[in-house]
Amino acid sequence: MRLLQWCDLSDSSCSSLAAALRSNSSSLRHLDLSRNKQLGDSGVKLLSTGLEHPNCRLETLELQWCNLSGSSCSSLAAALRSNSSSLRHLHLSGNEQLGDSGVKLLSTGLEHPNCRLETLELGGCDLPDSSCSSLAAALRSDSSSLRRLYLSGNEQLGDSGVKLLSTGLIHPKCRLETLELGGCDLSHSSCSSLAAALRSNSSSLRHLDLSGNTLLGDSGVKLLSTGLEHPNCRLETLELQCCSITAEGGAALASAVKSHPSSHLTTLDLRGNDLGSSAVQLLSALVEDPNFKLQKVE
């Protein structure tokens, strides 16, 4: 592992790093270059000459807050498409100029048979709802390897974005296990799309984070519960912090778990909601009941 965050590195540094990745003796698996704002697109372009090389063994690359735009994604997509690609985890959060064009370019790599990427972080990248169309196409591709998709902090995503994304989530080829959509300005209608994904035969979601979506409310939780209570649902962790949920929503969640004795749900995070004592008692009773897998309610 090499941690070089906050080092005030410029694009020229990436030439040296790329040379190291290309060397016969390269054994680097994790490279953290986050918060080097001078790195930019030119730096990523240089770095990609190393990522595409057969000697490169890098599995995790962190480029959060590096002032990257869409053109960086062209270089990264080329690396993902290369025969020797070994990247499993790519972190691009905090690059607000990435935009829809960047995600479209990146998706050409995600859909390629050579791509082995399992984790993609795009939090706080100011992505519009249309970005989800490209991501959904990647999830539907035959070669999809993505297991974790982090989109939290993209306030423009909204319900329309989740609706587009869900066309990928319900697809038989989708292998996504973790989806994080915290603070994406979602309302109850997003829960209808997500519930449909949880009910699908091919559902593989294990961890869903919807925290900080204050418009979700009880109506959203009720819709989501129609997915939680379905036999196909494999969700283990559900995060709903600060989602304006009251006793009514809490009761709906308790009912969903209770009606599905084989429910996989083990962790339910409801911090920052005004559930009231009655809903808390219902959920606590399920934690204490050995017939259910629910172990933790916060």
Q: How far apart are CA 287 and CA 278, in angstroms?
A: 15
Model pTM score: 0.95
pLDDT-derived band at 264, boundaries 50, 70, 90: very high
Region 235-257: what's the mean pLDDT?
96
The predicted pLDDT at position 7 comes to 64
- CA-angle at 213, arms to 212 and 217, nearest 5°: 120
Region 12-26: what's the mean pLDDT?
89
Count of domains observed in the chain: 1
CB 189, CB 156: distance < 8 Å: no
Query: Cα dist. 90→267, 272, 282 in Å?
Result: 27, 31, 40
Which range marks the domain in which residue 103 is found? 2-297
* Residue 198: closest CA among 145, 249, 162: 162
Region 279-285: what's the mean pLDDT?
92
The predicted pLDDT at position 261 comes to 78
What is the rounded radius of gyration, in angstroms, for the C-alpha atoms of the chain?
Answer: 20
124, 268, 206, 127 alpha-carbon torsion, rounded to 10°: -20
Q: Taking 60 as the threshold, does the pLDDT of residue 1 lie above it?
A: no
Joined together, the tokens standing for residue 191 give 């829960």
Distance of CA 61 to the CA centre of its chain: 16
Q: Taking 90 as the threshold, does the pLDDT of residue 274 lie above it?
A: yes
Q: How far apart are CA 236 and CA 53, in angstroms?
A: 39
43 CB burial (10 A radius; 0-12, 13-18, 19+): buried
Region 144-165: what's the mean pLDDT?
96
**Tens of pLDDT, residues 100-119:** 999 999 999 999 999 999 99
Q: Where are the alpha helices (DSSP H) in the chain?
A: 11-22, 40-51, 70-81, 99-110, 131-140, 158-169, 188-199, 217-228, 247-258, 276-288
> What is the β-pairing status of strands 207-209 and 178-180?
parallel
Give the CATH number for residue 40: 3.80.10.10
Of residues 7 and 156, which shows the higher confidence score?
156
Distance of CA 96 to the CA centre of its chain: 17
Q: Helices 217-228 and 188-199 meet at what angle, rounded to 10?
A: 0
The predicted pLDDT at position 3 comes to 61
Distance of CA 71 to the CA centre of its chain: 22
